[in-house]
Structure 1
Amino acid sequence: MALPDVTCSSGVRLLSQLRSGEEWIKEPCILGVDEAGRGPVLGPMVYASAFTTASTDITGRGYADSKTLTHASRSKLFGAIDADRGVGWVAHVMSAEHISAGMLGREKTSLNAMAFDSTLAVIRTALDAGVNLTHVYVDTVGDAGRHRERLMRAFPGIEFTVCPKADSLYPIVSAASIVAKVLRDKALTDTQQSLGLTGEVGTGYPGDSATTSWLRAHLHPVLGFPRLVRHSWETCNRLLEPPEGVTLRFEADEAEEGAGGGDGGGRGGQQQKLSFARAPGAGGALGAAGAGCVETSGLGRATYFRARKLQRVAEAF
């Protein structure tokens, strides 16, 4: 199965079947949103939407919560959805690498924030294509009322129904659930093959023994896991501990006796650190970021900094 209309950017793909040339998208339309892959430690998280006219009856098409369907049934239904000229869909696919970078980066982004941005993306993409959305149904796992308020602020003029188990209650959300699950499974398999990773990954959830066995089999004791894995999951942190993983000790600044004053080696065994944060009362200069950081002229500094003659600066910008 080929994935249409792929846009790549920093581990994010936007896939769609927008039906932008069809006249029916100008009629009042409904749209459903659901996700697949929020909890697994392996592979991408996919938020998908499906949309059609509000007057179209889709109750007899067999759409259901994707978790209740077999792989074969999901694939068949996705094929029908994709080929139906009266239905469109959009999917926002975030790779495991992108999720890990967001959750572990310097400016951390929570999974909830990424999920909300994905929901906005699939709705906005349909609107930008000219779809006349009047009512959007969203499956949620958090505070439904708060989620609905945020969506209404983002898209004034559109009615929102937000509730748990929406994929079982509203056929248009069921259709979105099928799209999300099929595309996640496809992306998971494709990534595994492209990286040359073998073995049965199981469901991808941390509680699956097949998944944890696969993780152990593909764990490098120093470099960790391949890009298919979400390094930000606690499951990975535990597996990286000895004996599976190796404890690494990095060279650090140490106090040098006889440095004199207090401007040389670290005082009282404190570790010296370069800081890019403005210290309170520093008068605009860059100083120590916390109580355990000590200004230094270079004595007692790590070899890496001394060899390259790297010094502290008054201003970074």
Structure 2
Amino acid sequence: MSPSSSSSSSSSYTHHSPLPTADGPYILGVDEAGRGPVLGPLVYGVAYCPLSYKDDLDNLGFADSKTLTPEVRNELINTLNSDPTNLAWSVRVISPQDISSGMLRKNPTNLNQQSQQATITLIREVLDKGIQLAEVYVDALGTIDKYQQYLSSTFPTIPSITVATKADSKYKIVGAASIAAKVTRDRCLDDWAFEELPEPVASTEEEATGEEEEKEEKEEEEEGESGPRYRWNTEYGSGYPSDPNTKAWLKASLEPTFGFPSIARFSWTTVKVIMEKDGHAVQWFDEGQASLIRAFDSAKGRERDRSHVANDLCLRSVGDL
């Protein structure tokens, strides 16, 4: 089964299935799920099996996960787990917070760079486990030739690395990686553990005095050792900006001062537009250099060019050395 995300929603992490025991060399495929959504993580997946297992793999039904129903994908993740001697997979889950912090920092790490880092991390960790890789197939990212050369130079011990568009429909091992990534992302969304606690807001005075009191009493009854229970609306659809359910969730979930829960990617234009339109405007005051210059200019004699901290402590010069 895919890893549980209930305790890892706000942090990026890597999950590995049990290590296969069949003799190598192995083939490995790389694919992702969730590059475009405004909600939830980006998940990179790899699947690998012995080169000698290739014919068996072709008959297991793996394909581009986007062309399959959720029911079929769940069956295929079970298939991926059904032969631990020959089949294995890993995923790198990049949280929305890490995606956004990378893209919004002073020297940004764009999504392609974060994707490359995830791909390299997964391949390297498989190699570090002692798996000998003979062939690697990667779904295209950016310029194909440039990316293929970059991966080949990063992993010189791998004889053949192929980067291709729609690799998940051309190579069954990439289709298997696509299943691992997609099922993991879907379960991350289904099991999302919200860190933010929504505050109930009464719409009328009656609700505030009557119904709200009943609600508070009910919450107190439900409160256990783990604290009070809160619920966020989880009808957020696929997470893609064009999804009507996602649009409705974004509209309903904005907190005007603090924005959205951490499931949202704050670096996405969709979120930025909503916050600029419906969020509270914030004005930052930073006197910075101006106040520092004034502090030094106001001093006279020996007190000139002294730190304002010394002035605040009422320290005065008493003589020259």
- Superposition TM-score, scaled by structure 2 size: 0.76
Mapping 1:120-139, distance limit 5 Å? 120-139=120-139
- Give the conservation status (yes or no) of the 8 Å contact 2:6–2:193: no
The equivalent residue for 2:77 is 78
- Give the conservation status (yes or no) of the 8 Å contact 2:9–2:193: no
| Equivalent-residue separation in structure 1 for 2:124 and 2:133 (angstroms) | 10
For 1:298, which of 281, 295, 300 is the aligned residue? 295
| Equivalent-residue separation in structure 2 for 1:6 and 1:28 (angstroms) | 35
Change in 2 beyond 3 A, CA 1:308/1:251: farther
The equivalent residue for 2:183 is 182
The equivalent residue for 1:145 is 145
C-alpha deviation, 1:192, in angstroms = 5.0
Change in 2 beyond 3 A, CA 1:6/1:249: closer
Per the alignment, in what secondary structure is the counterpart of residue 264 of structure 2?
coil
Per the alignment, in what secondary structure is the counterpart of residue 47 of structure 1?
strand
Residue 27 (structure 1) aligned with residue 24 (structure 2): yes
- Give the conservation status (yes or no) of the 8 Å contact 2:10–2:97: no
Per the alignment, in what secondary structure is the counterpart of residue 43 of structure 2?
strand
C-alpha deviation, 1:10, in angstroms = 8.0
| Equivalent-residue separation in structure 1 for 2:174 and 2:150 (angstroms) | 19
Residue 245 (structure 1) aligned with residue 279 (structure 2): yes
The equivalent residue for 1:97 is 97
Change in 2 beyond 3 A, CA 1:205/1:6: closer
Per the alignment, in what secondary structure is the counterpart of residue 176 of structure 2?
helix
The equivalent residue for 1:256 is none
The equivalent residue for 1:221 is 256
| Equivalent-residue separation in structure 2 for 1:206 and 1:30 (angstroms) | 35
Deviation string 1:244-289 (CA, Å, 9 cap, x unpaired) is 1111122243xxxxxxxxxxxxxxxxxx44xxxxxxxxxxxxxxxx
- Give the conservation status (yes or no) of the 8 Å contact 2:6–2:188: no
Deviation string 1:145-182 (CA, Å, 9 cap, x unpaired) is 11100000110031111011000000000000000000
Per the alignment, in what secondary structure is the counterpart of residue 40 of structure 1?
coil
- Give the conservation status (yes or no) of the 8 Å contact 1:36–1:45: yes
Mapping 1:202-213, distance limit 5 Å? 202-213=237-248
Per the alignment, in what secondary structure is the counterpart of residue 107 of structure 1?
coil
Which amino acid letter does the alignment assign opposite residue 183 of structure 1? T
The equivalent residue for 1:62 is 61
Deviation string 1:38-84 (CA, Å, 9 cap, x unpaired) is 11110000110000011111111110100001001101100110232
Mapping 1:147-166, distance limit 5 Å? 147-158=147-158, 159-166=160-167
C-alpha deviation, 1:94, in angstroms = 0.6
C-alpha deviation, 1:308, in angstroms = 12
Between the two structures, name the one with larger relative contact order (CA 8 Å, sep ≥ 6): 2
Identity value in percent: 39
- Superposition TM-score, scaled by structure 1 size: 0.76
For 1:42, which of 39, 50, 60 is the aligned residue? 39
- Give the conservation status (yes or no) of the 8 Å contact 1:5–1:15: no
Change in 2 beyond 3 A, CA 1:131/1:219: same
Unaligned runs of 5+ in 1: 254-271, 274-292, 301-305, 311-317
Change in 2 beyond 3 A, CA 1:308/1:177: farther
| Equivalent-residue separation in structure 1 for 2:9 and 2:266 (angstroms) | 20
Mapping 1:196-207, distance limit 5 Å? 196-207=231-242
- Give the conservation status (yes or no) of the 8 Å contact 1:6–1:15: no
| Equivalent-residue separation in structure 1 for 2:279 and 2:195 (angstroms) | 25
Cα-Cα RMSD: 2.8
